[in-house]
Amino acid sequence: MNPARILSNCLILFCLSLVFSVAAQAQEAVPWKDVLSQSPTWYGSEEALRIAENILLHQKQNGGWYKNIDMAAPITDTERSALIAEKSECMGTTLDNGAGFVQIDYLARVYQQTGGDRWKEAALAGIDYLLAAQYRNGGWPQYYPLREGYYSRITFNDNAMIAAMNLLRAVAKKDPLYAFAGNRRRKKAKQAIDKGLDVILASQIRVNGQLTAWCAQIDEEDLSPAQARAYELPSISGSESVGIVRYLMQLERPNKAVIQAIESAVRWFREVQLENIRLERVENADLPRGYDRVVVPDPDAEPLWARFYEIGTNRPIFVGRDSVVRYALAEIEHERRVGYSYLGAYARELLATNYPQWKAGR
C-alpha cells in the first residue's frame, strides 16, 4: 500500500479518535443540579472524582460550605489558590438553599464506589458540621457560625432544618450510604434528631386551642413565630410546613403527639386551600423582566396554597419589601411578584398521595 495513503489513513483515524474522545467527555459532563441523579457506578468515574475534588476545595475548615455555588464547574488555577487560601473563612457556611446536604450525600456516594478515605473524611467533617450547628434545644440556625440577625433563627425556611434532620436520620438508622459514620456519630445523630423532633412538636402554631402548622422560622429561644427578611413576617407557612409533615410521616411507631401534629396540619392544609384560581405568567415586554404573575379565576383549577397565612385568620398574606401586609398578590411590587414564590401547589401531593399512604400504613 502507498505509504502516503497509510499515513493519511492514520491521520484520519487519529482525528476521529480525538473527536470521539471530546464527544465522550462532553457526554460525561454533569451539571451541578443533576449530581445526585446518576447511576451508582457513575460515582466512581473520572468526572465524578473531578467534581468531588471541587467539593473538597470549596469545603471550609469547619466542615461546611457556602451556598449557591456550582461545584461541578471547572476551577482555574487562580480560583484553586484562592479557595485554598480562604479555607479558614467560615462565617458564610450555611444550611440554606441545600448547602452541605448535596455535598455530603455526593461524597458518601463517591466513597461508596471508590473506598477513598479523602471522600469519607470530608463527608464526616460535613456531618460533624451539622451536629455542631444544632442549638442545645434541638433547632438549627440558617448559618453556623452564627450570624447576627434573622440568620440565627431556627430555620424551617427552604427546608433547612428538615434537610439536616433527614440526613442525620439516615446516619442514625445506619443507612448503607452512611455505614462509614461509626457508632459514636450514629449515637450523636440519634440524639440530634430526637431533640429536633421536640422542637418541631413544640413550635407547631396553636390558634384558639387548635394546632395548625408552622412558621418558616422561629425564635431560637422561645420557639415562637419569628420574622426573617422584610417580606417574611411571622405567619403560618403553606410551603415549609409540607416538608415538616413529610418528615413526621416517615417516623416509625409515631407517638400520640406526632400523630396529632400530622392530623392537625393536614386538617389545616385542607381548610386553607385556595380553589377556583390559578397563577398565570403574563408576558409584558414593558416590565423589567418581561413578564408578570397574576391570579386569574379558573373554576377547573387544582388547589393552590399561599406561602404565608395570617395567624388567627388564615387569610393569605402578601408582603413586599416594605413589610406591609396586603391580601392580594397584585398589591405588592412587581419585583417581588416575579421574584418570590407566594402561591403554589405546595401541599397537593401531600394531601393526594403522602397522607393517604401514611394513613393506610398505620
Q: Which helix (H) or strand (E) holds 294?
A: strand 291-297
- Coil, helix or strand for 160? helix
Nearest one of 339, 80, 245 to 71, comparing CA atoms: 80
pLDDT at 16: 43
pLDDT at 197: 98
CA separation for the pair 309, 306 (Å, rounded): 7
Do β-strands 217-218 and 236-237 pair in parallel, antiparallel, or remain unpaired? unpaired
Backbone φ and ψ of 262, nearest 5°: -65, -50
Q: 134: which 3 cell numbers?
A: 444544632
Instruction: Give whole-number Cα distances, 274 to 3, 189, 300, 332, in Å.
Output: 79, 39, 12, 19
What pLDDT tens digit does each residue of the chain (362 aa) get?
A: 555 554 455 444 444 444 444 444 444 789 999 999 999 999 999 999 999 999 999 999 999 999 999 999 999 999 999 999 999 999 999 999 999 999 999 999 999 999 999 999 999 999 999 999 999 999 999 999 999 999 999 999 999 999 999 999 999 999 999 999 999 999 999 999 999 999 999 999 999 999 999 999 999 999 999 999 999 999 999 999 999 999 999 999 999 999 999 999 999 999 999 999 999 999 999 999 999 999 999 999 999 999 999 999 999 999 999 999 999 999 999 999 999 999 999 999 999 999 999 999 98
Cβ proximity of 269 and 305 under 8 Å: yes
pLDDT at 33: 96
Residue 26 C-alpha from the chain's centroid: 28
Backbone φ and ψ of 276, nearest 5°: 65, 25
CA separation for the pair 318, 308 (Å, rounded): 7
CA separation for the pair 327, 236 (Å, rounded): 15
Beta strands, E only, 89-193: 154-155
Which amino acid is residue 148, in one-letter code?
A: E
Backbone φ and ψ of 142, nearest 5°: -75, -35
Q: In terms of residues, how long is the chain?
A: 362
Q: 348: which 3 cell numbers?
A: 397537593
Rg (C-alpha) for the chain, rounded Å, is 24
Q: Which helix (H) or strand (E) holds 293?
A: strand 291-297
Instruction: Give whole-number Cα distances, 345 to 7, 58, 282, in Å.
Output: 64, 35, 19
CA separation for the pair 229, 238 (Å, rounded): 17
Measure CA of the first residue to CA of the last residue in the chain; give whole Å. Answer: 79
For the residues of 139-153, what is the DSSP string, one character each?
Answer: --BSBSS--SSGGGS
CA separation for the pair 109, 77 (Å, rounded): 27
Q: Which helix (H) or strand (E) holds 319?
A: strand 318-319
pTM for this prediction: 0.90
pLDDT at 10: 44
pLDDT at 5: 54
Instruction: Give whole-number Cα distances, 349 to 271, 305, 309, 345, in Å.
Output: 16, 12, 20, 8
Do β-strands 217-218 and 308-309 pair in parallel, antiparallel, or remain unpaired? unpaired
Q: 222: which 3 cell numbers?
A: 422561645
Q: 203: which 3 cell numbers?
A: 413550635
